[in-house]
A = this chain, B = another copy of it.
Amino acid sequence: MRRPDETDSEFLRTYDPDAYERPSVAVDVVLLSVRDGRMCTLLVRRKERPQAGRWALPGGFVGIQESLESAAQRVLRAKAAIEDNVFVEQLYTFGEPERDPRMRIISVAYVALVPFELQATAGSAEPDRSVSTVGIPWHGATGGAVELRDSDGRIMKTAFDHADIVGMAVKRIRGKLDYTPIGFQLLPETFTLRQLQRVHEVIQDQPVNKDSFRRRMLASGHLEATGERQRDVEHRPAELYRFIKRSAV
């Protein structure tokens, strides 16, 4: 808690916080996963007007004494049953005056990355809530709105500017992949190099050279061999790796 000095305290007593009309502030969370060679995200079917029946990102208003990140974590807990130990990063703030017809709502968007198993649990946790996962068709270019489709390939009508938000999330993750180790956030705790490669290929939507990918990953110092191997596969089982935090450089 910042401690204003005496004169500041005096000033604060006379400050009129109601001089200007204020917008509402919300957070929306793009919960990304990779499944079957596609990216997917969690959407919630709106039951209320406006735009009832359309699909929206899980979100909520920011409490007056709540930090933005806390609000995002709360939304994840409440709407996706996902606890705090996942990758969450602020994405962008969407504030066009007409983006929500109700009133002026400024939305601070967050991206979260989870293994698909967790997202599948979230999607089926409360069936009355009509939660669903969708694939993101890839258009090569980065940024802008994306089309969201359900498991049968039908386009899902999205609410407000949420298709733009998802597009921005994909762009951000794609950009970070090259210079930050985040691919493992989309995998279980132990994984094979091949699985990690597939995650990279899906995010970038282009094939990755296997040999050089192995070399780069192993040389990065972020991976640690577990000594364990895959089980129940129909071929030679690959070594399982674990992500380790890079030691001081």
Residue A127 is within 8 A (CB to CB) of chain B in the complex: no
Interface set, chain A 99-115, CB cutoff 8 A to B: 99, 101-104, 106, 108
Neighbour of A48 across the interface among B13, B48, B74, B90, CB < 8 A: B13
Write out the residue numbers on chain B whose beta carbons fall within 8 Å of the beta carbon of A17: 24, 102-103
Q: How far is the CA of A67 from the CA of B70 in the complex (A)?
A: 25
Neighbour of A12 across the interface among B1, B6, B22, B50, CB < 8 A: B50
Contact of A101 with B8 in the complex, beta carbons under 8 Å? yes
Q: How far is the CA of A4 from the CA of B12 in the complex (A)?
A: 32
Contact bitstring A34-69, B, C-beta under 8 A = 1, else 0? 000000000010011111000000001111111110
Q: In the complex, how many residues of chain A place their beta carbon closer than 8 angstroms to a beta carbon of chain B?
A: 54
4 extra interchain contacts, Cβ-Cβ under 8 A, other than A2-B101, A8-B50?
A15-B61, A25-B95, A62-B106, A65-B97
Contact of B78 with A6 in the complex, beta carbons under 8 Å? yes
Write out the residue numbers on chain B whose beta carbons fall within 8 Å of the beta carbon of A13: 48
Contact of A11 with B49 in the complex, beta carbons under 8 Å? yes
Chain B residue nearest to A56 (CB atoms) is: B8
Given contacts A47-B9, A62-B95, A104-B64, contact A23 B21 (CB under 8 A): no
Chain B residue nearest to A21 (CB atoms) is: B64
Write out the residue numbers on chain B whose beta carbons fall within 8 Å of the beta carbon of A150: none
Q: How far is the CA of A92 from the CA of B108 in the complex (A)?
A: 9
Q: How far is the CA of A249 from the CA of B22 in the complex (A)?
A: 44
Q: How far is the CA of A23 from the CA of B5 in the complex (A)?
A: 23
Contact of A22 with B68 in the complex, beta carbons under 8 Å? no
Neighbour of A90 across the interface among B50, B68, B93, B98, CB < 8 A: B93
Neighbour of A98 across the interface among B2, B20, B24, B92, CB < 8 A: B2
Write out the residue numbers on chain B whose beta carbons fall within 8 Å of the beta carbon of A162: none
Contact of A63 with B1 in the complex, beta carbons under 8 Å? yes
* Residue with the greatest number of chain B CB neighbours at <10 A, chosen from A2, A9, A48, A51: A2
Contact of B106 with A25 in the complex, beta carbons under 8 Å? yes
Given contacts A4-B77, A65-B1, A74-B2, contact A20 B24 (CB under 8 A): yes
Shortest beta-carbon distance from A7 to chain B in Å: 6
